[in-house]
Amino acid sequence: MDAITPYDLRPWVGQYGKHIRAELPTPTHANLPAMARAAAQRFAAQTAFTTVMPNGMYGSLSYGQVDTMSDHFARYLRTVLKLEAGDRVAIQMPNCLSYPVVLLGVLKAGCVAVNTNPMYTANEMAHQFKDSGAKAVVMVDLFADKLQEALPRTDVKHVVITRVPEFFPPVVGGIVYAVMKYWNQQIPAHGLTAATLPDALKQGAAAGGDVQAWSAALTHDSLALLQYTGGTTGVAKGAMLTHGNLLWNLAQMRAMCASHIDDGREVVLTALPLYHIFAFTVNFLCMFEAGARNILVPSPRPIQNLQRAIENYKITWLTGVNTLYNALLAEEWFTAFPPKHLKAAGGGGAAMHHAVVERFEQVTGAPLVEGYGLTESSPVVCFQPLNGQRTRDSIGIPAPMTDVRLVNDIGEPVPLGQPGELIVRGPQVMHGYWQRPEATAEVIKDGWLYTGDVAVMDEHGTFKIVDRKKDMILVSGFNVYPNEIEDALTRHDGVLEAAVVGVPDAKSGEAVRAFVVRRDENLSAEVLMTHCRTLLTGYKLPARIEFRDELPKSAVGKILRRDLRTEVLVAQNKNEG
Amino acid sequence: MLSDTETKLLGVMMMVIMLGMGASLTFKDFAIALRKPLGIFVGLLCQYGIMPLLAFLLAKALALPPAYAIGLILMGCMPGGTTSNIFTYFSKGTLSLSILMTMSSTLVAILMVPLTLAFYSSGIEGQWQIPRENVIQVLVLLLVPTVIGIALRKWNANVGAVIEMIGGLLGVLVILFLVGSWVPRNWQLLLATGLPVYAGSIGLGLAGFSLGYLLSRALKQDERRARTIALETGIQNGPLAVLIVLLSFSGTQQQEVLLIPVLYSLFIVLSSSAVTVWFRRITQREELARDTAKIGALARA
């Protein structure tokens, strides 16, 4: 790798224009608590978070309240529970007012947050808590019974329970809670010895302790977050994200969006879960620093749950994944009354389909920019620029201070325009996987993070993801990328969503299998095949189209092709056996 | 018969109920519903097409004397009751449709109730006629809190949602209050009342459920929506009819006309509860079947 490659010249910097700074100074705040405190002082009286229930009932916390309450929670962890700096505290809850209080409390205490999906099974919880060595868990009451089941297999000593309508006005919170408990029967009984969050805050306030001192010890290299990833491929690994990683990524995102973020005036809708890195960094960290009001929706499923949130607040920013935007566009209340104040929307997590992007922009009049990132990179690597030329179906350009290269199987950069594995180097790249040096060595080589995604770059430095390296289908020696086939399928009006996987085939090695959710019940496989023939060459055509009521999805709504493939493999094995 | 205080109390409670109903919807909900007017059209057709005719035919078939006939016809001409929303919620129906139907039938009530009432009661002797001004006066009076409710919802979602809930619960309480204050004082009357009156009071609701379901299925509404429309059609605004009767008649005349609206209100709670349990089972079975189909697909894989 001696010669200068097309990537070393950072051709994308030309696209930054006057709105994006190419060189960013090292973030001034030494750690996330310092950032949060500065924001809380600047915007003290402004509303920081509002949780909106499906019927429109809501509760809010101001920047000042979040700051004070998270101080109390830090005191509870250090003074009452006697946790030490660096101890892991798992946080397991849907989007609700408790989240920012607990998360900032954990960081202010100098502890490490283990961001955990509350819908995990007892087994998954046990693994994640054991692996991270979490000493305390703050959990939503909705799944406390599973925690009880998992607890004996972990080192967890302390449990704090919170509820979805925590910190709501008493009458409203009481009604929401009563409906959840007695009518929906969503809240299981449990035998855990646990403090409630309000109680923990009270104890912390009474116990005291020098919060400033605990966080003063934290530097950019201090661990802030263990964000588990890869749970469905095998064993979930904890990506170690430091205060520096997250502060840098925050600064990078702020630089990319500078033209569209007006400090202290934004209202961002957070429908994606904060336990996922995308919403965590973009919606929570960035928007907190920017003094935005964060509208938290506990669950975006069914999608109608977003209706009152969108109607009742002047949403200026929205983040989501393809499936969420697709679902929104299928709702009449959204298309008839799109958010008027929307300035921009961001998409990521999985490839956005351009039919969805076009329709969304046409309906709302705001740009929907697609980004690309990974848990391992805090997560943002690339984003389409909000100003200037945007290339459809691209992931845009690398964030400032980020290097991206495309390499072949032996790690050599591929020529311009050729597909290669995308590798990343930048201040947002994790320090490795928690206690897994081998796994770390597999993905971080010479300071470059190997993403496993295949991409191409054009001469302006715009990247397009071709597909996941391992999702590529090899049909009679031809490479077929599922994204392209899915895009062709969803261009048919009768198709709501589609997933394409490769399945073993006696003749062609692998064959293309399509799974389709119809918008129009009368759509037949024949009609859809005819449609595909107009867009795809022969070897790319699905060998079979299966209609489904829904597709398997991850917590954030990414379609899980892997599950579909496994399903087919199991079926084939059975037939053979 | 109800005392003056009770009549006033009933009026106040009705206002709170209507406030709650108003608070359950936003202007946008309406605007969206109007984009696909078929749903509202089906609802209004059931409400002002089927129900008054049904009441009229029942009164004829059962050969009810004028006092009871006017009570039954008045009941049939009423807009949808707000309790239908609660029953729809419990029966896992389409809540938004139910709310919308109640609201739209209430809003057009000012026009439709006097019209249908005059039409179907034209054959009844003058002394039993309900003065049109009374009907309009009550309806206008109730529109005010409805509109205030909508505004409150827009002003503050928490206040709106709480009022919606209070209004909904009060809807059930009012019926219990009516029954509780009326039945003990009139048990002798109840014993003396003939079968046809009971048949009319109970039959109006039951036939309303059935016809509402059939008509909406005929107009290509899916089963869940059809069940929602069925409940909505059968459940009339009983307390509203009681209020109109109280304002229009007095003495024994009032007592006689009041009989069917009160009996209807009593029995509709019972029959709706039964239907709700039944519908809930059907919905759950459908949901289960859908889930099993999915799990089955996985198990087969």
* Per-residue pLDDT, B298: 41
pTM (global) more than 0.90: no
Q: List the single best residue of A57, A172, A179, A184 to mutate versus B (max B Cβ within 10 A).
A: A57
- Cβ separation B158–A571 shorter than 8 A: no
Assigned token pair, B143: 């529109």
Q: How far apart are CA A241 and CA A231, in angstroms?
A: 17
- Interface contact A576, partner B, CB < 8 A: no
Q: How far apart are CA A160 and CA A164, in angstroms?
A: 13
Statement: residue A100 has pLDDT above 90: yes
Nearest Cα to Cα of residue A251 among A220, A212, A229: A220
- Interface contact A57, partner B, CB < 8 A: yes
Nearest Cα to Cα of residue A273 among A99, A483, A465: A99
The number of helices, as runs of H, and strands, as runs of E, in chain A is 19, 26
Residue with tokens 């209020």: B243
* Per-residue pLDDT, A480: 83
The model's confidence at residue B99, banded by pLDDT at 50, 70 and 90, is confident
- Residues in A touching B165 (Cβ below 8 Å): 175
Q: How far apart are CA A547 and CA A514, in angstroms?
A: 8
* Per-residue pLDDT, A535: 86
Are the C-beta atoms of A165 and A176 separated by less than 8 Å? yes
- Residues in A touching B153 (Cβ below 8 Å): 56
State mean pLDDT over A508-521: 89
* Per-residue pLDDT, A577: 54
Q: How far apart are CA A119 and CA A515, in angstroms?
A: 25
Statement: residue B296 has pLDDT above 60: no
Q: Comparing A78 with B103, which gets the higher pLDDT?
A: A78
φ, ψ of residue A242 in degrees (nearest 5): -95, 170
Per-range mean pLDDT, top range of A65-74, B112-121, B144-153: A65-74
Assigned token pair, B233: 């059609």
State mean pLDDT over A233-244: 86
- Is the ipTM above a cut-off of 0.85? no
pLDDT in tens, B35-60: 878 878 888 999 999 999 999 999 99
Statement: residue A451 has pLDDT above 80: yes
Superfamily covering domain A472-576:
ANL, C-terminal domain (3.30.300.30)
Within 10 A of A262 (CB to CB), how many other CB atoms are there? Answer: 12
- Residues in A touching B157 (Cβ below 8 Å): 52, 56-58, 308, 312
Are the C-beta atoms of B247 and B239 separated by less than 8 Å? no
State mean pLDDT over A290-318: 94
* Per-residue pLDDT, B293: 56
CA atoms within 13 A on the CB side of A312: 30
Are the C-beta atoms of A463 and A422 separated by less than 8 Å? yes
- Cβ separation A311–B165 shorter than 8 A: no
Which sign, positive or negative, has the C-alpha torsion A126, A127, A130, A134?
negative
- Cβ separation B35–A332 shorter than 8 A: yes
- Using only C-alpha atoms, chain A has a radius of gyration, in whole angstroms, of 24
Q: Which residue of A has its CA nearest to B29?
A: A333
Q: Which CATH architecture has domain B4-291?
A: Up-down Bundle (1.20)
State mean pLDDT over A355-378: 94
Q: Which of A360-374, A400-414, A422-436, B127-141 has the lowest mean pLDDT?
A: B127-141
Q: C-alpha angle A435/A440/A445, rounded to 5°?
A: 150
CA atoms within 13 A on the CB side of B51: 37
Q: Which residue of B has its CA nearest to A172?
A: B158
What lies within 8 Å, CB to CB, of A363 at 6+ separation is: A329, A334, A335, A338
Q: How far apart are CA A499 and CA A567, in angstroms?
A: 13
Q: Which residue of A has its CA nearest to B24?
A: A55
Are the C-beta atoms of B50 and B58 separated by less than 8 Å? no
Pick from B31, B162, B301: which is nearest to A568 by CB?
A: B301
Q: How far apart are CA B290 and CA B284, in angstroms?
A: 10
Which residues face A380 on adjacent strands? A373
Assigned token pair, B134: 């009374």
Q: How far is CA B273 from CA A200, B31, B75, B169, B267, in A?
A: 44, 32, 19, 15, 10
Pick from A52, A171, A336: which is nearest to B31 by CB?
A: A336
* Per-residue pLDDT, A568: 87
pLDDT in tens, B158-188: 999 999 888 888 887 887 887 787 778 878 8
> In angstroms, what separates the C-alpha of B292 from chain A's closest C-alpha?
12
Residue with tokens 């040096």: A437
Task: Report A:162-221 residues touching B (Cβ under 8 A).
Answer: 169, 171-172, 175
Pick from B35, B162, B301: which is nearest to A567 by CB?
A: B301
- Interface contact A572, partner B, CB < 8 A: no
Q: C-alpha angle B214/B217/B223, rounded to 5°?
A: 110
Assigned token pair, A324: 């969420």
- Interface contact A570, partner B, CB < 8 A: yes
- Cβ separation A56–B31 shorter than 8 A: no
Q: How far apart are CA A269 and CA A372, in angstroms?
A: 20
Pick from A57, A332, A550: which is nearest to B161 by CB?
A: A57
> In angstroms, what separates the C-alpha of A384 from chain B's closest C-alpha?
33
- Cβ separation A175–B165 shorter than 8 A: yes
B171-174 own/partner pairs: CB under 8 Å, 24+ apart: B171/B17, B171/B20, B171/B81, B171/B82, B171/B83, B171/B86, B171/B239, B172/B83, B172/B86, B172/B269, B173/B13, B174/B10, B174/B13, B174/B14, B174/B17, B174/B239
> In angstroms, what separates the C-alpha of B82 from chain A's closest C-alpha?
17
- Cβ separation A58–B157 shorter than 8 A: yes
Statement: residue B1 has pLDDT above 80: no
Are the C-beta atoms of A385 and A256 separated by less than 8 Å? yes
Q: Comparing A570 with A251, which gets the higher pLDDT?
A: A251
The model's confidence at residue A205, banded by pLDDT at 50, 70 and 90, is very high
Nearest Cα to Cα of residue A247 among A24, A44, A396: A24
Amino acid identity of residue A558, one-letter, is K
φ, ψ of residue B293 in degrees (nearest 5): -60, -40
- Residues in A touching B162 (Cβ below 8 Å): 171-172, 175
Secondary structure in 3-state letters for chain B = CCCHHHHHHHHHHHHHHHHHHHCCCCHHHHHHHHHCCHHHHHHHHHHHHHHHHHHHHHHHHCCCCHHHHHHHHHHHHCCECCHHHHHHHHCCCCHHHHHHHHHHHHHCHHHHHHHHHHHHCCCCCHHHCCCHHHHHHHHHHHHHHHHHHHHHHHHCHHHHHHHHHHHHHHHHHHHHHHHHHHCHHHHHHHHHCCHHHHHHHHHHHHHHHHHHHHHHHHCCCCHHHHHHHHHHHHCECHHHHHHHHHHHCCHHHHHHHHHHHHHHHHHHHHHHHHHHHHHHHHHHHHHHHHHHHHHHHHHHC
- Boundaries of every domain in chain A: 472-576
- Cβ separation B293–A549 shorter than 8 A: yes
- Boundaries of every domain in chain B: 4-291
- Residues in B touching A308 (Cβ below 8 Å): 157
State mean pLDDT over B70-86: 91
Q: Comparing A36 with B135, which gets the higher pLDDT?
A: A36
Q: How far apart are CA B68 and CA B56, in angstroms?
A: 11
* Average pLDDT of chain A, as a whole number: 92
Give the 3-state secondary structure of residue A137: strand
Q: How far apart are CA A39 and CA B273, in angstroms?
A: 54
Statement: residue A250 has pLDDT above 60: yes
CA of residue A396 relative to chain centroid, distance = 18
Q: Which residue of B has its CA nearest to A168?
A: B158
* Per-residue pLDDT, A31: 97
What lies within 8 Å, CB to CB, of A2 at 6+ separation is: none
Amino acid identity of residue B27, one-letter, is F
State mean pLDDT over A396-425: 94
CA atoms within 13 A on the CB side of A87: 21
User: Percent of chain B scored above 90 by pLDDT?
Assistant: 36
Pick from B26, B294, B301: which is nearest to A549 by CB?
A: B294
- Write the DSSP assignment of A214-232 as a string of letters: HHHT--TTSEEEEEEE-TT
Within 10 A of A171 (CB to CB), how many other CB atoms are there? Answer: 12
- Interface contact A72, partner B, CB < 8 A: no
- Residues in B touching A568 (Cβ below 8 Å): 301
Amino acid identity of residue A306, one-letter, is L
A-B contacts (CB, under 8 Å): 49
> In angstroms, what separates the C-alpha of A464 from chain B's closest C-alpha?
34
Give the 3-state secondary structure of residue A157: coil
Query: Cis (ω within 30 of 0) for the bond into A302?
Result: yes
